[in-house]
Amino acid sequence: MTNWKPWSREALAARVAQDIPEGWYVNLGIGIPTLVGNYVPPDREVILHSENGVVGMGPAPSPESLNPWLVNASRQHVTLVTGASYMNHADSFGLVRGGHLDLCVLGGFQVAENGDLANWSRSDNDRAPAIGGAMDLAVGAKRIWVVMEHTTKDDEKRILERCTYPLTATACVKRVYTDLAVIDVTERGFVVIDTVPGISFDELQTRSGAELHAG
Amino acid sequence: MINKFVRSVAEAMDGVKDGSTVIVAGFAQVGEPRALVDGLIEQGAKDLTVVHNTAGRGREGVARLIGERRVRKIICSFARSRGSVLFEEVYARGAIELEIVPQGTLAERIRAGGAGIPAFFTPTGGGTKIAEGKETRIIDGRECVLEQAITGDVALVEAWRADRWGNLVYRDAGRNFNPVVASAGRLTIVQTQNVAELGELTPEMIVTPGIYVDRIVHVPSGDPPVVIS
């Protein structure tokens, strides 16, 4: 019997949003990261970038205000905020690689204690590989935060000493938000800075494939 | 008088040769030159190398071109899209070559192609499978990968407005790959939703100057399909 409950997708998105300060330029990846935008308080100016050439994305449109020409990189219809701008794809990735984004929040399959990230393929023989913009974002943004479940549905560990899946980028992850904990990736490895209420450090450690340190 | 407009998609696609490299702009069905890709299917050129962000979606456009076995090689960042069944079938049979490229590297390779930069080092892909078989170099402490420019024998573009010189503007997120693709074609073909008189598009407004454009066809195809997610 456990006396703790994992964070839901929504709670996790809200937990990430809480840590994004005003003024940051942020790119949100596919999946839970996309939800983060919904939880940034409306009075906090955080500017969202999308790889397909939008700086200043707003929330999803109402059916009446939907613009079929305006999508994000996850292929969802979005809106613009006042002050938004468009650019071409090469310029958009130029600002990514050029270190102009304060933060990119990505989904992940595995994160290693040296900051390596695997989030695009589970096998060397992928039938239809898909990288998209993940590799550019992972090397380019000033900070990479990864949001993922702490283990797979089959209880395989995802917080690891070394990734076993093909890498997206090396030594790029600064922080991991799982459904159980918030963990910084530091010089001395994984440092736990927050957990869901009620879980013990040992319980968290047994669900992790690398040594955790108390924050 | 310069007039780059042609009367039909067939005329726009005239002369595309077997074995050509064709760069197709567009992202998530927005700003995608669908009429030109259909025109290429009609035109009949085969043994093509196609450069596009994905391997096509559903059974239309680039996916249909692949399904009809007209594509020898696809260069893309995302081979797995919802309903990309045609690519997966053909790829599983070993009947198409796939070069998978990070999306930013893809955009930059096309940009470099249009800008006369034959190759460049980028940190994207350093220390990953993408670097395998490529020249790498440690620059400022990071492993960087040498990536080659891409130019197209043919570049296919969708604009929102075009004038007879080929000056172009795009609509909303329909800009995406279009300006760099327009710059990287030896034969750049544009389908435009709207026609502008010369001078209507002001110098500050023009995103792609007409110098990059060879042929334009007016295709008022309307809004892209709304994505139901």
Which tens digits make up the pLDDT trace of B143-154?
A: 999 999 999 999
- Rounded to a whole number of angstroms, the distance from the CA of A87 to the nearest CA of chain B is 7
| Inter-chain touch A135–B171, beta carbons under 8 Å | no
Domain boundaries, chain B: 9-119+150-218
Q: What is the pLDDT of residue B193?
A: 98
- Rounded to a whole number of angstroms, the distance from the CA of A118 to the nearest CA of chain B is 10
Q: What is the pLDDT of residue B209?
A: 98
* Confidence at B228, pLDDT banded by 50, 70, 90: low
* Confidence at A131, pLDDT banded by 50, 70, 90: very high
* Confidence at A1, pLDDT banded by 50, 70, 90: low
Which tens digits make up the pLDDT trace of B92-122?
A: 899 999 999 999 999 999 999 999 999 999 9
Helices (H), chain A: 9-18, 32-36, 89-97, 134-140, 201-206
Which tens digits make up the pLDDT trace of B161-184?
A: 999 999 999 999 999 999 999 999
A133 reaches B (C-beta below 8 A): yes
* Confidence at A117, pLDDT banded by 50, 70, 90: very high
Judge whether residue A129 has pLDDT over 70. yes
CB count in 10 Å sphere of residue B219: 21
Which tens digits make up the pLDDT trace of B35-85?
A: 999 999 999 999 999 999 999 988 889 999 999 999 999 999 999 776 677
- Mean pLDDT value across residues A81-87: 97
Q: According to CATH, what is the number of the domain B9-119+150-218?
A: 3.40.1080.10
* Confidence at A124, pLDDT banded by 50, 70, 90: confident
| Inter-chain touch A170–B128, beta carbons under 8 Å | yes
Judge whether residue B128 has pLDDT over 80. yes
Suggest the residue from A76, A139, A165 to mutate for an interface test with chain B (most B CBs closer than 10 A): A139
| Proportion of chain A above pLDDT 70, given as a percent | 100
Domain boundaries, chain A: 9-214
Catalytic-role residue among A51, A156, A187, A203:
A51
Judge whether residue B229 has pLDDT over 60. no
Q: Which one of B111, B173, B229 has the shortest CB-CB distance to A69?
A: B173
| Proportion of chain B above pLDDT 90, given as a percent | 90
Q: Compute the mean pLDDT over every residue in chain A, rounded to the nearest whole number.
A: 95
Which tens digits make up the pLDDT trace of A55-67?
A: 999 988 999 999 9
Q: What is the pLDDT of residue A3?
A: 85
- Mean pLDDT value across residues A29-47: 93
Q: According to CATH, what is the number of the domain A9-214?
A: 3.40.1080.10
Q: What is the pLDDT of residue B226?
A: 86
Q: What is the pLDDT of residue A209?
A: 98
- Mean pLDDT value across residues B126-141: 97
Q: What is the pLDDT of residue B132?
A: 96
Residue A209: DSSP 8-state? B
Q: Which one of A68, A135, A166 has the shortest CB-CB distance to B226?
A: A68
Q: What is the pLDDT of residue A105?
A: 98
Nearest to B190 by CA among B19, B26, B21: B26
Nearest to B181 by CA among B214, B152, B219: B152
* Confidence at B189, pLDDT banded by 50, 70, 90: very high
Judge whether residue B200 has pLDDT over 60. yes
B206 reaches A (C-beta below 8 A): no
Residue A64: DSSP 8-state? G
Task: Give me the torsion for CA of B127, B130, B136, B139, rounded to 10°.
Answer: -60
- Rounded to a whole number of angstroms, the distance from the CA of B202 to the nearest CA of chain A is 18
- Write out residues 160-189 of A within 8 Å (CB-CB) of B: 166-170
